[in-house]
Amino acid sequence: MSLLPRHSETIEKGTSLGRDAWLRLKKNKLAMMSFWFIIFITAACVLFPAFPGFPDPNKTHLVLKSQGPFSSGVSAEGEKVFFLLGSDHLGHDIFSRIIHGGRVSLMVGLIATAVSLTIGLIYGAVAGFIGGRTDSVMMRIVDILYALPFFITVIILTTYFGNHLWLLFVCIGAVEWLTMARIVRAQVQSLSKQEFIEAARSLGLSKWRIIFRHLIPNTLGPVIVYTTLTVPAVMRLEAILSFLGLGVQPPNASWGSLIKEGADRMASDPYLLIFPAIVFGLTLFALNFLGDGLRDALDPKSSKD
Amino acid sequence: MNLLLPQLDQTGYSPGPNRVQSRIQQGTVLVFGLILCSLLLSGCGKRESKVDRATREGMLLIGNGGEPKALDPHLVTSVGDSAIMRAMFEGLVTYHPSNDATHAPGVAERWEANDKKTVWTFYLRKNAKWSNGDPVTAHDFVYSYHRILHPEMGAPYASMLYFLRNAKEYNTDKEGKVPFEDVGVKALDDYTLELTLPNPTPFLPDVLKHTTWLPVHKPTIEKYGGMTEHFTDWQKPGNSVSNGAFQVTKWRVGSYVRVEKNPYYWDKDNVKLNGVEFYAFENSFTEERAFRNGLIHKTYVVPPNLIPLYKEKKSPELRLEPYIGTYFYRFNCTNEVTGNVHLRRALSAAIDREQIVKYVTQAGEIPAYAFTPPTEGGYQPPRRVKFDPAEAKEHLKNAGYAKGSDVPAFSLFINTSESHTAVAIAILDMWKTHLGIDPKKVTIKNQEWKVYQVTIQDLKYDVARSGWIGDYLDPKTFLSLFTSDDTNNHTGWANDEYDRLFAESDNIGDEAKRFEKLEQLENVLLDELPITPIYWYTTKYLLNDDVRNWNPLLLDNHPFKAVELIAD
């Protein structure tokens, strides 16, 4: 009789954290649907305009203005024009504008979120792990930045640097990272008192290695949830800024500006509001469901079921 | 999301019937039913809308375009701001409620002119009072004209007073060589005012109705700063003293200005309203919704896409009336790109005005073929401006650009408004289609009205949308704009021949000959095109049927003292 446990014949294959998460995510139908929907929307926005014959979003057909969905007509230049989702008050093709607007909205959503995620994650983790005076100073800086009124900051920046789209990304990203930093800091503070961090310390790992290898991966659950909430918030901020004339400038469009234009005209042409709102709404839903699914997949402990 | 989707006001809603599913237990149904009933009942009792209450209280609530720049008659320039001034102040002569050509006596009881129409004497009424009880005297008018003409004041509209002898010399003289005593205004005694003009001006009473000729109260101005200081506290409610039918009692920035009856006004028994509230709406759609929800009596404009809907319903609320005004684009003639006259001609000839009027603005505007709108039986402008893509391309070549895509980047400024944006986008696309200008190189820049006005004044634009409404019924109100020293020129364009012809036209007494000269003048303008006219306005607004005595006026300057509110 041996005291040693019996080894099985075949050695089980190890799985990585990522693969584990993917397997769990695959079981969540809603999250998977959302995932494919986001892929589809992104692909459509990136690829559709490349097709030959895709209508120019800024081409006006005054003769064919305010046409309903699935209508076609002959433009002033004698060309045949087909509007899949109708045309607006200047005869712009709404379908084309939604696709082109999606490029702006998605880009703002993704880039600004990425900016805020990177800064917030690193900043919060460093502050939370090092603690003491460094932490106090770093968090007071966050407090000060919090106190700056967002719109006034953006207005000052645009008067200095002019009205560029990249400035919009930077502005939004620079504001959104503050909350992220706070969340990560709180998470890291509680984690750094746990045994596995003690173990890592006693093994003599460097501070940076502990932060990047052990702390940040363990904060991913709440961070991912917050990120998926940030994307819609950012897209909404872009819409508000465009509305104030600080974001996307006419004749270009984003989903926010399309919805705003549609809302103004909903009495006479309701489809101008309905179509962009459906696309925008579905995208936001999908992002939220995907975020939920990812949280469950990455951090099964916090899962509700 | 409030900013994106303005909420419908609660007054328009009553809870609709809900389908209650059978699965819900009976008790729940009962509770639900009770709640629903009470909600429905509370919805049924017709709540008094804001407009109904205002009608009862004699307060007229009107949409007034943007936020007022100032409540100082010597500083305002916009149509909306002038409306507030018209309620607060009264000049020598005032507007008649139904006829543009008639002059209603204001502070002056009567007036007379010499045969040449160069010396005018005004006899002021003795019972005219300021809102603090002080009498209005001829000296007040002298002080006011001094203030607006003072070179240090830099009043944006001072050129309206250039009708007076030496007024221009005094206004433009920075070194102080011309004393104010030389200007043709004199108080013969407390109640007699004499105006001396260098040129015969039979239409002077028309001119005197304008905002710039309104008097201000000297002790108040001096108390809150000097005569020439801008934007001091004197214009604030409580401080402000005015002599019109109303005085300002509240100014909530971004919301409204309220004026109430002036207890010392000489004709207060004939003032029907108790007050007027002027609301700042920058978005015409919001304004239209406010009107529909019973929040205002009258809108400033109507969104173009709703005009067909109102027409279809044969709504008596929709008013479309002729208006003496021009919608045009200014070109900055001091910079390299738009300073090129050939490029200006090309840009102008590539605009299809018929299409803009027919499909974008939709309120029966007239495509402009000149700057000055024609008046029946009066001045007829030359037919010079037209849409001609072939000619436009020719001009583009002359300008030194083989293709439209060579044209360097430039900016197009508009003040924040849906309809200006729509027109700008349409024009941008016409430039692309007919000239091949790369739309990415033209940036449309949106500015809030106050900022936009400063941008235009400082010539910090390339192309800018503008509008000009006649100040009085004479082509001079339009053509004087582009003389090299006019304070509203704002294009940097100066042309000696234009100035010479304009000066010559001033000395002609015979109407027909004067119009001939003015036509020559306008030809010079339309040849050089420091501006390009787009269309001639119509006034378009929605008016609640409680409002009485609001008549169609070519100049759209309604005297508020004649307006009445009667509920049906």
pLDDT per residue over B12-62, tens digit each? 333 333 333 444 445 555 555 556 555 555 544 457 889 999 999 999 999
Tokens coding B32: 């639900």
Question: Which residue carries 């002959």 as its tokens?
Answer: A74
Separation between Cα atoms, residue B404 and residue B437, nearest integer Å = 4
Coil, helix or strand at residue B84 = helix
The pLDDT of residue B468 is above 50? yes
Coil, helix or strand at residue B468 = strand
Separation between Cα atoms, residue B88 and residue B93, nearest integer Å = 14
pLDDT in tens, B306-333: 888 888 888 889 998 888 899 999 999 9
- Is the pTM above the cut of 0.80? no
**Structural element, H or E, at residue B93:** strand B93-95
Report residue B176's pLDDT band, with 50, 70 and 90 as the boundaries: confident
Between chains, do B422 and A90 touch, taking CB under 8 Å as contact? Answer: yes
Report residue B4's pLDDT band, with 50, 70 and 90 as the boundaries: very low
pLDDT in tens, B204-253: 888 999 999 999 999 999 999 888 888 889 999 999 999 999 999 999 98
ipTM of the complex: 0.72
**What one-character DSSP code corresponds to residue B300?**
S
**Which tops the pLDDT comparison, A23 or A77?**
A23
**Which tops the pLDDT comparison, B88 or B378?**
B88
Between chains, do B418 and A65 touch, taking CB under 8 Å as contact? Answer: no
Report residue B543's pLDDT band, with 50, 70 and 90 as the boundaries: very high
Q: Which of residues 287-316 of B touch A (CB under 8 A)?
A: 303-306, 308-309
DSSP for B95-144, written as a single string: E-SS-TT-EEE-SEEEEEE-TTS-EEEEEE-TT-B-TTSPBP-HHHHHHH
B253 to chain A nearest CA, in Å?
18
Report residue A300's pLDDT band, with 50, 70 and 90 as the boundaries: low
Residues B97-114 as b or e (16 or more Cβ within 10 Å = b): beebeebebbbbeebebe
Mean pLDDT of chain B: 86
> Which residues in chain A are closer than 8 Å to B444, comparing Cβ atoms?
249-251
The pLDDT of residue B108 is above 90? yes
> Which residues in chain B are closer than 8 Å to A77, comparing Cβ atoms?
433
Nearest to B64 by CA among B363, B301, B326: B301
Tokens coding B95: 């507007």
Between chains, do B426 and A62 touch, taking CB under 8 Å as contact? Answer: yes
Chain B residue closest in CA terms to A253? B425
Mean pLDDT of chain A: 82
**What one-character DSSP code corresponds to residue B161?**
G
Contacts (Cβ under 8 Å, ≥6 apart) of A126: A134, A138, A211
By CB atoms closer than 10 A (0-12, 13-18, 19+), residue B563 is buried
Strand order in the sheet with B108-113: B108-113, B119-124, B192-196, B185-189
The lowest-confidence range among A127-131, A233-237, B343-347, B400-404 is A233-237
Separation between Cα atoms, residue A33 and residue A293, nearest integer Å = 11
Give ∠ CA B202-B206-B211 in degrees, rounded to 5: 140
Chain B residue closest in CA terms to A62? B359
Domains in chain A, ordered, with CATH? 19-57+95-304 (1.10.3720.10), 61-92 (no CATH)
By CB atoms closer than 10 A (0-12, 13-18, 19+), residue A126 is buried
What is the structure's pLDDT at B18? Answer: 38
Residues in chain B: 568
B302 to chain A nearest CA, in Å?
12
Evaluate whether B404 touches B436 at the Cβ level (below 8 Å): yes
A59 to chain B nearest CA, in Å?
7
Between chains, do A267 and B446 touch, taking CB under 8 Å as contact? Answer: no
Q: Is the dihedral of CA A71, A72, A74, A76 positive or negative?
A: positive
What is the structure's pLDDT at B140? Answer: 94
Separation between Cα atoms, residue B51 and residue B57, nearest integer Å = 10
Q: Tell me the mean pLDDT in the region A202-224.
A: 85
**Which tops the pLDDT comparison, A246 or B254?**
B254
Between chains, do A250 and B285 touch, taking CB under 8 Å as contact? Answer: no
Contact status of B517 with chain A (Cβ, < 8 Å): no
What is the structure's pLDDT at B19? Answer: 38
pLDDT in tens, B387-410: 999 999 999 999 988 888 888 999
Q: What is the separation, in whole angstroms, between the first and last Cα of chain A?
A: 42
- Closest partner residue to A60 (CB to CB) among B425, B445, B446 is B425
A41 to chain B nearest CA, in Å?
22
**Structural element, H or E, at residue B433:** helix B418-435
Between chains, do A91 and B359 touch, taking CB under 8 Å as contact? Answer: yes
The pLDDT of residue B467 is above 50? yes
By CB atoms closer than 10 A (0-12, 13-18, 19+), residue B11 is middle
Between chains, do A91 and B439 touch, taking CB under 8 Å as contact? Answer: no
The pLDDT of residue A257 is above 80? yes
